[in-house]
């Protein structure tokens, strides 16, 4: 952005020297340079402080690592990568044979236990049985019933389904592969439909001008020449470089050398953006600018520079 402003001033000076035929001497050239330093420096300082800009902005999206609840051999993978799925659609199936056999075994034992329970109750009512036998057989029936429910759940878990509407990205699972619940090793990555958040990474000297609800604009490398309106919905109240966790390692000066940036969240409220929803990929890269209520007349410069940067994306990314 600053480079565009300097180049614009340089082009303006050249035009003025040419049009008015100003001679290049020890007075005119230093005056133009000094004037440029004062003018551009003042404008850049006022603009950058009151209408901050981030050359590092990105649309983030949520993914869910797909890990089966049970262990088994994959027998079917009907899902295709990058195709829209509905919640509940089958992602893949595991061999259910051992789980069905386990249910059959439990149900056989349950049948015997229920018979023993009925016999114990009948004997107790006749006065020739013991209450302890009734209690033991009842406990056995309850235990086997619970085990059957667990086994039914395990059998149902052999069919892994989509958690929400979304896509399976980079699908490499094939029949015959082994899928396990532990150790955690996802076999698929599921991208949820429509869950995106635009984050602009701003320098810390922009904190005093970060206000919720401020107007903003965003451009994307993949949509050159397009500028979309947005609003600031907040900032994450922490900088990743400052986090510590309980461990056996102490913080050091090495971890403090990177100042870090503020993560500012945006919402694109421009209705024109909807027509590009199918074109925009998750994780799209771009730039954002915030327009505060201070020195509002200077905001026009930021808007012009942002549009120039968007046009330059026709030729190469502006970063």
pLDDT of amino acid 276: 87
State the pLDDT at residue 317. Answer: 57
Q: What is the pLDDT of residues 194-241, one digit of tens each?
A: 778 999 999 998 888 889 999 999 999 999 999 999 999 999 999 988
- What's the start-to-end Cα distance of the chain, in Å? 10
**Could you tell me which residues come within 8 angstroms of residue 123 by beta carbon, excluding any fewer than 6 positions away?**
129, 133
Residue 165: per-residue pLDDT: 94
What DSSP letter does each residue of 110-154 carry, written as one string?
A: HHHHHHHHHHHHHHHHTTSS-HHHHHHHHHHHHHHHHHHHHHHHH
Sorting pLDDT into bands at 50, 70 and 90, what band is 107? very high
Q: What is the pLDDT of residues 164-187, one digit of tens each?
A: 999 999 899 999 999 998 888 899
> The pTM is what?
0.77
* DSSP annotation string for 200-261: EEE-GGGGGG--TT-EEEEEETTSTT--EEEEEEEE-SS-GGG---SSS----GGGGS----
Q: Is the pLDDT of residue 318 over 70?
A: no
pLDDT of residue 216: 97
């Amino acid at each position: 952005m600053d480079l565009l402003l300097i180049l614009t001033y340089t082009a303006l000076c050249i035009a003025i020297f040419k049009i008015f035929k100003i001679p290049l001497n020890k007075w005119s050239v230093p005056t133009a340079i000094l004037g440029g330093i004062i003018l551009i420096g003042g404008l850049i300082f006022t603009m950058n402080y009151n209408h901050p800009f981030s050359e590092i902005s990105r649309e983030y999206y949520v993914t869910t690592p797909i890990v089966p609840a049970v262990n088994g051999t994959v027998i079917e993978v009907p899902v295709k990568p990058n195709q829209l799925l509905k919640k509940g659609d089958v992602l893949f199936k595991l061999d259910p044979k051992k789980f069905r056999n386990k249910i059959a075994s439990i149900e056989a034992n349950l049948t015997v236990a229920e018979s023993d329970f009925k016999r114990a109750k009948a004997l107790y009512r006749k006065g020739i049985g013991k209450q302890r036998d009734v209690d033991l057989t009842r406990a056995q029936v309850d235990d086997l019933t619970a085990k059957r429910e667990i086994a039914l759940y395990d059998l149902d878990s052999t069919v892994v389904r989509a958690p929400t509407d979304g896509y399976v990205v980079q699908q490499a699972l094939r029949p015959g592969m082994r899928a396990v619940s532990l150790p955690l090793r996802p076999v698929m990555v599921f991208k949820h439909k429509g869950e995106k958040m635009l984050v602009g990474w701003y320098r810390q000297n922009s904190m005093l001008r970060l206000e919720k609800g401020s107007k903003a604009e965003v451009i994307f490398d993949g949509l050159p020449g397009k500028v979309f309106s947005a609003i600031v919905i907040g900032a994450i109240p922490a900088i990743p470089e400052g986090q510590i966790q309980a461990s056996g390692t102490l913080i050091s000066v090495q971890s403090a050398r990177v100042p870090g940036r503020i993560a500012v969240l945006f919402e694109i409220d421009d209705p024109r953006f909807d027509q590009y929803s199918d074109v925009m990929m998750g994780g799209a890269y771009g730039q954002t600018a915030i327009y505060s209520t201070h020195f509002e007349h200077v905001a026009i410069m930021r808007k012009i520079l942002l549009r120039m940067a968007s046009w330059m994306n026709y030729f190469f990314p502006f970063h």
